[in-house]
Amino acid sequence: MKRRKFLKNSSLSTAGIFSASILSACETDKKHPLVNEILKPIVIATWDVPNATNKAWQVLSETGTALDAVEQGVMIEEADINNQSVGKGGRPDREGNVTLDACIMDKDSNCGAVVCLQNIVHPISVARKVMEDTPHVMLAGKGAELFAYEKGFKKENLLSEKSKAEWIEWKKTSKYKPIINIENHDTIGMLAIDRKGDIAGACTTSGMAYKIAGRVGDSPIIGAGLFIDNEVGGATATGVGEEVVRTVGSFLIVELMRQGKTPQQACEEGVKRIISKNKEKLDFQIGFIAINKNGETGGYCIQPGFTYRVYSEKGHVNNKASSYIST
């Protein structure tokens, strides 16, 4: 409701003449598209992944669901051997095994996840099967892999020649220090709103390069790497997963939006929470993106260099996220 109209209505109400017709005018006003305009469909993803957001947009434009859009969107990156942060071609753990983590969440708060999954190109689709075909939320390691074969997924070698050569080089020093903004397409987190206004999200990664075998980060953990609440919005993360898990980052951001913060304000607060737990050293990267029910978006990170893609009827844009530490 416009401020002037609100004041007018308040004075009428104080005068005790707030008639039913004025009340109903207010109701209509609240729903006026200019007051509560919802931008949908829309898709948003971590990093500059135009092919992934393009695919998701295609699904959304063809009246697909947000769930299908985010699954099919991130699958593009999982299948891309040149993306060394997710799926096939991902960087391995220190033993040379590519182990993948992913999760997916829908409008009804159903969710599915796989952790430490080997030999399967599309962990996001296995996560969706966990969500839809089992009474569980998360499957790990060998169990997840056997489940995938049961569901018809094919076994494939995920270690590309490039990632293998880099790993062999790494072994010479075996120094473990995650590199900030390792490349321009890290963990892919994607959030979408479909034509019906429903929200879904997906998150997929090969995790930190050269991690200890068995290590799992934030990306497949519901609430940490991804969280959706269809009444409020969604959030997803990229960066050093341990830090996101410690603050249950994506859940925190959605809760902050529930309390009235914009997606941008909520992402900033989420990053600041992590900063407050790391007063000594800030030599790592975290990036969050978020969307609310109205299709407003936001993104924020610790170090400069994080970008996120947004695709809506307003266009297809790669946004530079503002950062806590300036250049």
Nearer to ligand SD4, 211 or 293 (CB): 211
Q: Which two tokens stand for residue 226?
A: 């991804």
Out of 46, 65, 99, 187, pick the active-site residue.
187
Which range, of 20-28, 52-60, 132-140, 211-219, touches ligand SD4 by CB under 6 A?
Answer: 211-219
- The DSSP line for 253-297 is HHHHHHTT--HHHHHHHHHHHHHHT-SS---S-EEEEEEETTS-E
The residues that bridge with 203 in the sheet, in sequence order, are: 103, 189
Interface with ligand SD4 includes 264 (CB under 6 A)?
Answer: no
Interface with ligand SD4 includes 205 (CB under 6 A)?
Answer: yes
Tell me the three state secondary structure of residue 170. Answer: helix
Interface with ligand SD4 includes 217 (CB under 6 A)?
Answer: yes
Q: How far is the CB of 207 from ligand SD4 (least distance, A)?
A: 4
Interface with ligand SD4 includes 307 (CB under 6 A)?
Answer: no
Asked whether the beta carbons of 70 and 131 are under 8 A apart, the reply is no
User: Which one among 90, 92, 112, 207 touches ligand SD4, defined by CB under 6 A?
Assistant: 207
Tell me the three state secondary structure of residue 221. Answer: coil
Find where tokens 């996840």 sit.
113
Nearer to ligand SD4, 132 or 283 (CB): 283
Q: Which two tokens stand for residue 313?
A: 């009827």
Crossing angle between the packed helical segments 3-14 and 20-30, to the nearest 10 degrees: 160
Q: How far is the CB of 244 from ligand SD4 (least distance, A)?
A: 7
Which range, of 6-14, 142-150, 235-243, 316-324, touches ligand SD4 by CB under 6 A?
Answer: 235-243
Interface with ligand SD4 includes 92 (CB under 6 A)?
Answer: no
Nearer to ligand SD4, 71 or 218 (CB): 218
Which range, of 34-42, 113-121, 215-223, 292-300, touches ligand SD4 by CB under 6 A?
Answer: 215-223
Interface with ligand SD4 includes 219 (CB under 6 A)?
Answer: yes
Asked whether the beta carbons of 225 and 203 are under 8 A apart, the reply is yes
Which range, of 140-148, 236-244, 262-270, 314-322, touches ligand SD4 by CB under 6 A?
Answer: 236-244
Nearer to ligand SD4, 106 or 186 (CB): 186
Nearer to ligand SD4, 137 or 180 (CB): 180
Cα angle vertex 68, ends 62, 70, to 5°?
105
**CA of residue 1 relative to chain centroid, distance:** 33
Residues ≥6 apart with Cβ < 8 Å to 76: 49, 51, 52, 55
Count of chain residues binding ligand SD4 (CB under 6 A) = 12
- Residues 239-258, interacting with ligand SD4 (CB under 6 A): 239-241
Asked whether the beta carbons of 216 and 224 are under 8 A apart, the reply is no
Q: How far is the CB of 306 from ligand SD4 (least distance, A)?
A: 9
Asked whether the beta carbons of 311 and 76 are under 8 A apart, the reply is no
Is 187 one of the catalytic residues? Answer: yes
Nearer to ligand SD4, 218 or 269 (CB): 218
- Which one, of 11, 15, 187, lies nearest residue 102 by Cα? 187
Residues ≥6 apart with Cβ < 8 Å to 143: none
Tell me the three state secondary structure of residue 64. Answer: coil
Interface with ligand SD4 includes 297 (CB under 6 A)?
Answer: no
Kindly list the catalytic residues: 187
Q: Which residues bind ligand SD4 (CB under 6 A)?
A: 186-187, 205, 207-208, 217-219, 238-241
